[in-house]
Amino acid sequence: MKVLVTGATGFIGSHTVVELQHAGYDVVGIDNFENSTPNVIKQVEAITGKTFICEQADIRDKKSIHAVLQKHGGIQAVIHFAAYKAVGESVAEPLKYYGNNVAGTVNLLNELQEKDITDLVFSSSCTVYGNVSSDMLPVTEETPLMPAFSPYGNTKQICEEVLRDQSQTGKLRVVSLRYFNPIGAHDSARIGELPIGVPNNLVPFITQTAIGIRKQLTVFGNDYATPDGTCIRDYIHVVDLAKAHVAAIAFLQQRKSADSFSVFNIGTGKGNSVLEAIHSFEKVSGQKLNYTIGPRRAGDVEQIYASCSKAENELKWKAERDLDNCMLTAWNWEKKLAEQKQNA
Ligand code: UD1
3-state SS of the chain? CEEEEECCCCHHHHHHHHHHHHCCCEEEEEECCCCCCCHHHHHHHHHHCCCCEEEECCCCCHHHHHHHHHHCCCEEEEEECCCCCCHHHHHHCHHHHHHHHHHHHHHHHHHHHHCCCCEEEEEEEHHHHCCCCHHHCCECCCCCCCCCCCHHHHHHHHHHHHHHHHHCCCCCEEEEEEECEEECCCCCCCCCCCCCCCCCCHHHHHHHHHHCCCCCEEEECCCCCCCCCCCEECEEEHHHHHHHHHHHHHHHHHCCCCCCEEEEEECCCCCEEHHHHHHHHHHHHCCCCCEEEECCCCCCCCECCECCHHHHHHHCCCCCCCHHHHHHHHHHHHHHHHHHHHHC
pLDDT for res 94: 97
Q: Which amino acid is at 49?
A: G
Q: pLDDT tens for residues 262-283? A: 999 999 999 999 999 999 999 9
List, in sequence order, every residue forming a beta bridge with 235; answer none if it has no partner. 181
Q: pLDDT tens for residues 2-33? A: 999 999 999 999 999 999 999 999 999 999 99
Task: Please identify, by atom number, the ligand 1 atom nearest to the C-alpha of residue 219.
Answer: 22
Q: Provide the terminal-to-terminal Cα distance of the chain, rounded to the nearest Å.
A: 39
Average per-residue pLDDT for the chain: 96
Active-site entry in 25, 84, 152, 235: 152
List, in sequence order, every residue forming a beta bridge with 261; answer none if it has no partner. 174
Q: Which of 128, 145, 300, 326 to mutate to test the pocket of ligand 1 (most atoms within 8 A of CB)?
A: 300
Q: pLDDT tens for residues 35-44? A: 999 999 999 9
330 Cβ closer than 6 Å to some ligand 1 atom: no
Q: pLDDT tens for residues 159-213? A: 999 999 999 999 999 999 999 999 999 999 999 999 988 999 999 999 999 999 9
Q: Which of 145, 150, 201 to mutate to test the pocket of ligand 1 (most atoms within 8 A of CB)?
A: 201
CB 187 within 8 A of CB 333: no
Is 206 inside any structural domain? no
Of 240, 247, 249, nearest to 267 (Cα)? 240
Burial 184-209 (b: 16+ CB within 10 A, else e): bbbeebbbbbbeeeebebbbbbbbbb
Is 304 inside any structural domain? no
Count how many domains the chain has.
Answer: 1
Q: Which of 127, 178, 304 to mutate to test the pocket of ligand 1 (most atoms within 8 A of CB)?
A: 127
pLDDT value at 230 more than 70: yes
* Alpha-carbon gap, residue 18 to 339, rounded angstroms: 23
The proportion of the chain whose per-residue pLDDT surpasses 90, expressed as a percent, equals 92
Of 179, 342, 316, nearest to 250 (Cα)? 316
Q: pLDDT tens for residues 93-109? A: 999 999 999 999 999 99
pLDDT for res 299: 84
Return the residue whose CA atom lies nearest to atom 3 of ligand 1: 127
183 Cβ closer than 6 Å to some ligand 1 atom: no
Domain that holds residue 98: 2-183+236-267
Is 330 inside any structural domain? no
Is 28 inside any structural domain? yes
Is 97 inside any structural domain? yes
Domain of 71, CATH number, reads: 3.40.50.720
Is 318 inside any structural domain? no
301 Cβ closer than 6 Å to some ligand 1 atom: yes
What is the CA(180)–ligand 1 centre distance, in A?
A: 10
pLDDT for res 19: 98
pLDDT value at 257 more than 60: no
pLDDT value at 258 more than 60: no
Mean pLDDT of 124-148: 93
Is 275 inside any structural domain? no
List, in sequence order, every residue forming a beta bridge with 219; answer none if it has no partner. 293
Is 125 inside any structural domain? yes
Task: Please identify, by atom number, the ligand 1 atom nearest to the C-alpha of residue 301.
Answer: 8
Mean pLDDT of 304-317: 97
Q: Is residue 152 flagged as an active site residue? A: yes
219 Cβ closer than 6 Å to some ligand 1 atom: yes
Mean pLDDT of 328-336: 98
Return the residue whose CA atom lies nearest to atom 2 of ligand 1: 127
275 Cβ closer than 6 Å to some ligand 1 atom: no
Query: pTM of the prediction?
Result: 0.97
87 Cβ closer than 6 Å to some ligand 1 atom: yes
132 Cβ closer than 6 Å to some ligand 1 atom: no
Lowest-confidence region among 119-133, 198-212, 228-242, 249-263:
249-263
